[in-house]
Structure 1
Amino acid sequence: MLRLLTFLLILISLPGQAKKFIEPTLEQELPDKPEFKGLPFAFHTEMLQTTVGAAGVLKHAWQPQATLFSGGFYSQNDSWAIYGGAYNYQPLSASQWLISADIMRAHYTQGFYRFVNDVDEPTFNLPERQLLSARQGFSRITLDYVLPIGAGKKGAIATLRQPSSPKDLKDIEEWLPDESGFTTLTFMPFRRYLKYDEQLATDAQITEISAGIELELNYDNRNSTTMPSQGFQVQTRYIRDFGDSRRAGYTQVEAEYSQFLSLGSNKIFQQQTIAFNMLLADTPSWNSRRNGEYQRPPNFDGVTLGGWDSLRGYDTNRFYGRSAVSYGLEYRAIPGWHPLPELPIIENYRFPWWQWVAFVDAGQISDQFNLSDLHEDMKFSFGGGIRMNIEGIITRIDYAKSSEGTQLRVIINQPF
């Protein structure tokens, strides 16, 4: 049930985006029937006021690796959010495929948004947040095809299996896709929108929509997806919004690289790791026009920096433009001292490890794809956090500081 609370925190505090909700299957788990957990809840915040809701998860939902999840809430000021998803289903005997789908809808009568009036010019420093009423949501289908090479010869379900302890991690001895790691092709049709309520919006476009398909090639040669100490991951993405009679659409490309270096263990820490990430993104269609409009994504969805995984000391999507470069460096340590499973509230949950983290982020946005420009006057943030493996879900608490203030976020998954 702690995982449900974690997801609800995401719905409440981070309405701008959503992450994939994926639950790894432990190697020793061989479930033979579905397992349901539900949780009603109530809370009070300044923005939402008194709020009630419920959430539920069905593990091993007719397939051992599959999960169904649903949650939502309604507040005193008439804000609401609902979310539902089906994850990691394997069609028939297609052992190399996994299919997931999820949908979210929300209406926040009081929410902070960066409302951009002039969509014809790049906005690197978005305006101050405004208290607006808006509806937002997304829907997507994710089709993962794991190539039958390297570790992928074991099938797609093998990508979900995770060791439960640093002691169970194996050394990475091979570095080529046909010998080691998982190579995955992902096809993801999507639709995302943000609609400002008319009575509070200005003269700009009231509804912003992004809809199209995302293609990704991912080579993952880490010794774990949740607590890697060795290996690397390379991801390339092509995102295309084809537009329609009212939207010009856009094209976006990204390349991302992550590297992990083990620092070994000692009397205090079971595992110490240096983790490095680099992201390079561009919008090739930025200066092209269609029906008189620039082919640029809405500011909530295109090339942005700031938020969960980049420049974490800034607001979500704080910087927006054509291209971006982002760097992340983390020191991660799993202590041998582990008192959390003994706490009364969570003693009945599987809680194999927790992790201490110190990190620094750097990045920049530019109106043209130029590596020199992208490395001038870079923005920085730094901070620390705690990561916890709760029943197979990585819960992340990050506290970060930048020149514009501090940010505290509670989310799921490692940033990279």
Structure 2
Amino acid sequence: MKIKILVKNYSKYVLLITVIVLTSNLSSQTAGEIKDTVEQEISAVALPFGLYSEILGWAAGGFVGIQGLSQRNMSIYMGGLLSTNGTKYGFLQFREFYLPFYPRIYIAPDILGGYFGVLNVYKDPPGTPPPGDPKYRAGSNESDKDNYMEVSGYDQWYELKFRYLLPIGHGKDIVYFTPVLENGILKSGEMGGTDWNPFISGRTFIDIKPFYRKRVAFATNGIDFALTRENTDFYVNPTKGSFQKVAFRRDFGWFDTMAPWSVVETDLRWYLPLHEFLFDKSSLPKVLAFDFWTINTLTWNSYDIVGIDPEGNEIKKYHRPPPYTGAYLGGRYRLRAFYEGRFNDRAAIYYGMEYRQIIKWNPFDLWTVTKKLNVHWLQLAAFFEVGRVAPEWNISTLHTDMKWSAGGGLRIFMNNLILRIDSAFSEEGNFIQMYVDHAF
């Protein structure tokens, strides 16, 4: 079933901004002392690009990166793209930004907006009563891949994450980190990954993130609360250590939200440095990465009665998140061989494994012009993933009839940023994904 919806009544300008300010690296000196003692070096790079994805089709755009503008490790990335399916986007990203007067607080604004020429949404049409059997609902684990709505319209996404670095582990005495890279590979100044104990190793954050998103007619807003431990050597490209996150996300029903809802989420990751275990420790990094993720919607069966239909039946408005957030699989991060949000339900579980190996060959070093792009290395990757969504969080159900995805990809490290290209296949076909940062 394909239903086409055209939406044209939102903001006039397109703007995709994904602002990622992950962590700031500040020493326990005062902000004034740091300003006096840290020499700032500003570097910039500009790069036109072309890409292809199953969602956008062919696209062309430009990218600019600036590092060290106001703080030593702060980076700004901006750009935009136009695609053959009518999508228009622009983006702006910040990384490593801290409050100068209290450096234990990091700020991570995250803003997204743009216009989708064509987008598939795996959700039943508005006003359609839920099917008697959940498996017939669009986006369910058993749903047909052609059971979606085809929509066009604006996408807006605004987030502002506040992070407080706890005074434990690597964050006890140091809050401004200065990783030392040689040809893009960490040589010293690790941020974690030295011990399993959070009081000895890694950085632990309390995160509070207000958010607002409106994709076409599906709007949501609220606050995300999380406890995050980053126990890896270098968060941009981890080669050892682990990552743990436990989060509670709540839409309070403010503004133009579809409905209030609540979810709980857990994300656990491990990184094994195979080059240290099986090869020469001085060789280029070879990493085996694992990810476990699960989520449950606490308010899935809660609802408000908003009216009576012509047949005298109650019209219920369920407290469920939109299909692009909450318990969903498919897209850039989880089950990469499926369309974005292909599967969505009350609960989900996911397991991912990826092998990553930096290679010696770098074609960007062959010409003077491409050398200026500051591409340090290329990395090859191979991955396998399994996951499933379900109408309840039940360990047996979530491990029955799981979907799978497998493939390989290329990573490009430039100006402290990972550019990622993945090609994946599954029982529903092949998919190409191009994005920034590792999937996990």
1:254 is displaced (CA, Å) by 0.7
1:153-188 CA-partner distances (Å, limit 9, x unpaired) = 244442x74644557267944221111111011111
Q: Work out the number of aligned pairs and report it.
A: 388
Contact 2:206 2:226 in 1 (8 A): yes
1:377 is displaced (CA, Å) by 0.6
1:227-278 CA-partner distances (Å, limit 9, x unpaired) = 3332211111111111148632110111111112222235996222221111
CA distance in 2, matches of 1:241, 1:232: 29
1:290 is displaced (CA, Å) by 3.4
CA distance in 1, matches of 2:194, 2:378: 26
Q: Does 1:395 align with 2:423?
A: no
Structure 1 partner of 2:299: 285
Structure 2 partner of 1:116: 124
1:172-251 superposed matches below 5 A = 172-195=193-216, 207-244=217-254, 247-251=258-262
Q: Quick one: which amino acid aligns to residue 397 of structure 2?
A: D
For residue 397 of structure 2, give the secondary structure of its aligned residue in structure 1. Answer: helix
1:296-338 CA-partner distances (Å, limit 9, x unpaired) = 0011222101111111111111100010110001122223444
For residue 375 of structure 2, give the secondary structure of its aligned residue in structure 1. Answer: coil
Change (3 A) 1:174 1:36: closer
Contact 1:242 1:249 in 2 (8 A): yes
1:27-66 superposed matches below 5 A = 32=40, 35=43, 56-66=64-74
CA distance in 2, matches of 1:156, 1:384: 36
390-399 vs 40-49, which moves further: 40-49
CA distance in 2, matches of 1:364, 1:104: 27
CA RMSD of aligned residues (A): 3.6
1:243-392 superposed matches below 5 A = 243-244=253-254, 247-264=258-275, 265=279, 270-291=284-305, 292-343=316-367, 345-392=369-416
CA distance in 1, matches of 2:340, 2:52: 23
Contact 1:152 1:183 in 2 (8 A): yes
Change (3 A) 1:78 1:244: same
Identity, in percent, stands at 26
Contact 2:261 2:300 in 1 (8 A): yes
CA distance in 2, matches of 1:234, 1:45: 30
Change (3 A) 1:227 1:369: same
1:4-19 superposed matches below 5 A = none
Change (3 A) 1:184 1:161: farther
1:17-44 CA-partner distances (Å, limit 9, x unpaired) = 98654588999xx653655555678999
Runs of 5+ unmatched residues, structure 1: 1-14, 196-206
Change (3 A) 1:51 1:340: closer
Change (3 A) 1:405 1:110: same
1:285 is displaced (CA, Å) by 0.8
For residue 284 of structure 2, give the secondary structure of its aligned residue in structure 1. Answer: strand
Structure 2 partner of 1:4: none
1:69 is displaced (CA, Å) by 4.1
TM-score where L is the length of structure 2:
0.77
Change (3 A) 1:258 1:110: closer
1:123-138 superposed matches below 5 A = 123=138, 124=140, 125=143, 128=146, 129=148, 131-138=150-157
CA distance in 1, matches of 2:292, 2:318: 28
Change (3 A) 1:152 1:240: same
Q: Quick one: which amino acid aligns to residue 68 of structure 2?
A: H
CA distance in 1, matches of 2:322, 2:219: 7
For residue 132 of structure 1, give the secondary structure of its aligned residue in structure 2. Answer: strand
CA distance in 2, matches of 1:341, 1:151: 35
Structure 2 partner of 1:201: none
Change (3 A) 1:36 1:339: closer
CA distance in 1, matches of 2:431, 2:55: 17
Q: 1:404 aligns with which of 428, 433, 436?
A: 428
1:387 is displaced (CA, Å) by 1.4
